[in-house]
Amino acid sequence: MEKIHISLTPQSRNYDVMVGAGALVHCAQKIATFCPRKILPVITDETVASLHLDKLENALAAVGVETRALILPPGEANKSFAQLETVCNFLLEQEMERSDCLAAFGGGVVGDLAGLASALLKRGTGCIQIPTTLLAQVDSSVGGKTAINAKAGKNMIGVFHQPKLVVADLDFLRTLDARQWRAGYAEILKMACLADAAFFHQLQQNGPELATGKTELLAKTIGRAVQGKADIVAKDEREQGVRALLNLGHTFAHALEAEAPGKILHGEAVAAGLAAAFSFSAQLGLCSASACDLVLAHLRQMGLPASLAEAPGGPFCAAALLARMKQDKKNRQGLIHLVLCRNIGTAFVTAEIEEQKILQFMKANLR
């Protein structure tokens, strides 16, 4: 079992991320300590409920905790005001108190929605993240970002609200299809590319073996990616500085997702955005062509898009993508802030790239 400790200020907000096969049963007693009324409201979706809800119910019943589940339809459309209201009303029906916790049991969509509801209800209740997808286990369940979408774009309405505990049970990943698994892997690769060159070279060697589901290797890989994120979040919880680096590839990615709702997975968009960030950096002379080529080759090796043109949901229009990028949350004073790279493992944020250059790059990368 891998244990990653998330350090925050004040220390009373610190929490652990537990990663491994059987993590749910292993952590059941700890989950119970966050349930003073021995009741745990669970927010999940139909897909996860049909596959895994009985496992959660049984694990918690064994430690004297009753689960009460709200089962939503699956999909990104859940990240809406309407579903946020549905979740909040359900929690109020459970007479949830400030000292109580809910469980976000699902992928990134459920985690974002339930986390936001937890933050808003009675001005703040507890949240336990129990992610069931690789992407959620390695990224979205950790760090406290919660949000719903808006017409203008993805994750535009949200708050920072750290969980009490994250339980990443690798057994849940056995039911992921190959496309969802690859999408999650993109976030692992992103962490290596922005801050850990040695990790990248490990992924080059181990990526195909990871895809076979080798549990011990996967636990260590997820643990390393989560530790990298934890180190950054500890320095900059609210993304005023270095945490923006975690958005490597995401300026392009969120634009792709906004232009193709429901047609592209977040991890697929991140992969295409990661490829674009390295390709653009190489074109601008900021990083070497050889470094860029290594990243693109590994994306293709793992069956992920290695350009904007290869992203599912296209064809895309460069001008439309640019318009979406101009609404990005990182932007300041009307300038697009991009995360670019000087090398594998060395990323930086810049607002000095002219919009026309970004547009011309995207037009070429979409061919």
Q: What is the mean pLDDT of the chain?
A: 97
Model confidence pLDDT, tens digit, residues 33-63: 999 999 999 999 999 999 999 999 999 999 9
What's residue 171's pLDDT? 97
- State the total domains in the chain: 2
In terms of domains, do 220 and 310 share one?
yes
Residues contacting 210, CB < 8 A, separation 6+:
185, 203, 217, 218, 221
- Asked if residue 236 and residue 171 are part of one domain, the reply reads no
Q: Which of 146, 175, 204 is the last residue of a domain?
A: 175
Q: What is the dihedral of CA 324, 325, 329, 335, to 10 degrees?
A: -130
Same domain for 218 and 192, yes or no, is yes
Please determine, for residue 214, whether its predicted confidence score (pLDDT) is greater than 90: no
If asked whether residues 326 and 235 sit together in one domain, one would say: yes
- pTM above the 0.85 mark? yes
Per annotation, catalytic residue among 247, 324, 330, 365: 247
Query: Quick one: 164 and 185 in the same domain?
Result: no
Active site annotation includes 123: yes
Q: Do 245 and 262 belong to one domain?
A: yes
Q: What's the rounded Cα separation, in Å, for the pair 165 and 18?
A: 8
pLDDT, tens digit, 9 for 90 and up, residues 90-148: 999 999 999 999 999 999 999 999 999 999 999 999 999 999 999 999 999 999 999 99
Q: Which of 123, 151, 332, 367 is catalytic?
A: 123
Could you tell me if 151 and 229 lie in one domain?
A: no
The CATH code of the domain that includes 86 is: 3.40.50.1970
Structure letter (DSSP) for residue 7: P
Give per-residue pLDDT as tens, 171-196. Answer: 999 999 999 999 999 999 999 999 99
In angstroms, the CA 315 to CA 254 distance is 16
The pLDDT of 196-202, averaged and rounded, is 98
- Does 214 qualify as catalytic in the annotation? no
Q: Are residues 156 and 272 in the same domain?
A: no
**pLDDT tens for residues 319-343?**
999 999 999 989 999 999 999 999 9
Q: Please tell me whether residues 232 and 186 are part of one structural domain.
A: yes
Q: How does pLDDT run across 225-260, given as a tens digit for each residue?
A: 999 999 999 999 999 999 999 999 999 999 999 999
SS3 helix, strand, coil % of the chain, rounded to 5?
Answer: 55, 20, 30
For residue 315, give the CATH number of its domain.
Answer: 1.20.1090.10
- Banded pLDDT at 75 (limits 50, 70, 90): very high
One-letter identity of residue 54: D
Query: 156 is in which domain, residue-wise?
Result: 2-175
Catalytic residue list contains 122: no
Asked whether residue 165 falls in the same domain as residue 245, the answer is no
Asked which of 175, 200, 235 is the last residue of a domain, the reply is 175
- Of the residues 2, 76, 79, 145, only one is catalytic, namely 145
Picking from 147, 175, 203, the residue at the C-terminal end of a domain is: 175
